[in-house]
Amino acid sequence: MARIVPLAEAVQIVHDGDTVALEGFTHLIPHAAGHEVIRQERRDLTLVRMTPDVIYDQLIGMGCARKLVFSWGGNPGVGSLHRLRDAVENDWPAPLELEEHSHAGMAAAYAAGASNLPFGLVRGYEGTDLADRTSVAWITSPFDGQQVAAVPAIRPDVGIVHAQQADEAGNVQLWGISGIQKEVVLASRRSIVTVEEVVKRLEPRPNAVFLPAWAVTAVAPAPGGAHPSYAHGYYDRDNAFYVRWDEISRDRDRFQEWMRQNVLEREPAVV
């Protein structure tokens, strides 16, 4: 049953060496939770995310990650992730092991994890160099002999997402682009949902994603916690910040100084 706790307490369920997935497909990216992981100096994490962007650039640049499992790593519409590249190309601040997939492969792997299956199935990977570099196997359909690719289920120790609202009992509702959030929470052994606000009663919204309190480990209020990503109905995507991140992150010293001022020396919002 989800407990509603301050962010700093919620993030204590992340342990050194854990496999941790912070998800949010452009929308509702859990930046505040990622910053708290950085402040608590978690180390040797296997970080999982379909689209590692700014928050993973920060986690990697601050030395939290040992391995990255992903399908597309870039600053959307802007360019490279300089901290990710520095880790892969120059081992700075530490070497980073990569396991990469396609989006469809990761989506199937998360869905398999949520469904308690050993693997997900996709048509794909065949004839690519990716197949030799990642965890994939070929399966023949017992019904008609078709060959499909099997990707191992993703079962994170901790799944972290951001949502618009929770009620006082810890039930969560999110809406707009819902990405892979439901799957990551249900695939994970433990989960944290940060929310824009805790309301007395959730107003049911058609087609919203609802996560009952009994399916979530911890709920933490984090207003503005998706910024520079956005929260539909609360605030827009800060596109200018994504553009600015390109220069901030290019240089190691400038990056560290920015992280010191904007993350390390800041407390999470207490609500």
Partner 1 sequence: MTKVETATYTADEMMAVAAARRLRNGMVCFVGIGLPSRAANLARATHAPDCVLIYESGTIGAKPEHLPLSIGDGELAETADAVVSVPEIFGYWLQGGRIDVGFLGAAQIDRHANLNSTVIGDYEHPRVRLPGAGGAPEIAAMCRETFVMLRQTPRAFVEKLDFLTTGGKGVTCVVTDVGVLERPDGELTLTELHPDVTVEDAKEATGWDLRVAPDLRLGEPPTSEELNALRALKPANEDTSNS
CB of 3 to partner 1, least distance (A): 27
- Give the C-alpha separation, 104 to 79, whole Å: 22
N residues, the chain: 271
CA-only gyration radius of the chain, Å:
18
The number of beta carbons lying within 10 Å of the beta carbon of residue 12 is: 13
Tell me phi and psi for residue 4, to 5 degrees: -95, 115
CB of 236 to partner 1, least distance (A): 6
Asked whether position 95 contacts partner 1 by CB under 8 A, the answer is: no
Q: Interface mask (CB under 8 A) for partner 1, residues 71-90, using x and -? A: xxxx-xxx-x---xx--xx-
- Give the C-alpha separation, 173 to 192, whole Å: 13
Contact 160, 33 (CB under 8 A): yes
Window 168-227: residues binding partner 1 (CB under 8 A): 176-180, 182-183, 207, 227
CB of 4 to partner 1, least distance (A): 26
Window 113-172: residues binding partner 1 (CB under 8 A): 122-130, 133
- Give the C-alpha separation, 230 to 113, whole Å: 27
Determine if the peptide bond prior to 118 is cis (ω within 30°). no
Asked whether position 237 contacts partner 1 by CB under 8 A, the answer is: yes
Pick 74 or 223: Cβ nearer partner 1: 74
CB of 262 to partner 1, least distance (A): 7
Q: Which of 2, 48, 50, 195 binds partner 1 (CB under 8 A)?
A: 50
Contact 18, 157 (CB under 8 A): yes
Asked whether position 104 contacts partner 1 by CB under 8 A, the answer is: yes
# residues contacting partner 1 (CB under 8 A): 59
**Concatenated DSSP letters of 224-258:** TTTTTSBBTTTB---HHHHHHHHHHHHSHHHHHHH
> Quick one: tokens of 227?
């910024």
Question: Applying CB under 8 A, which part among 56-64, 192-200, 212-220, 233-241 lies near partner 1?
Answer: 233-241
Pick 130 or 202: Cβ nearer partner 1: 130
Q: Which residues pair with 182 in a beta bridge?
A: none
Q: Which residues contact partner 1 by CB under 8 A?
A: 25-27, 50-51, 70-74, 76-78, 80, 84-85, 88-89, 100-104, 107-108, 110-111, 122-130, 133, 176-180, 182-183, 207, 227-228, 230, 232, 236-244, 262
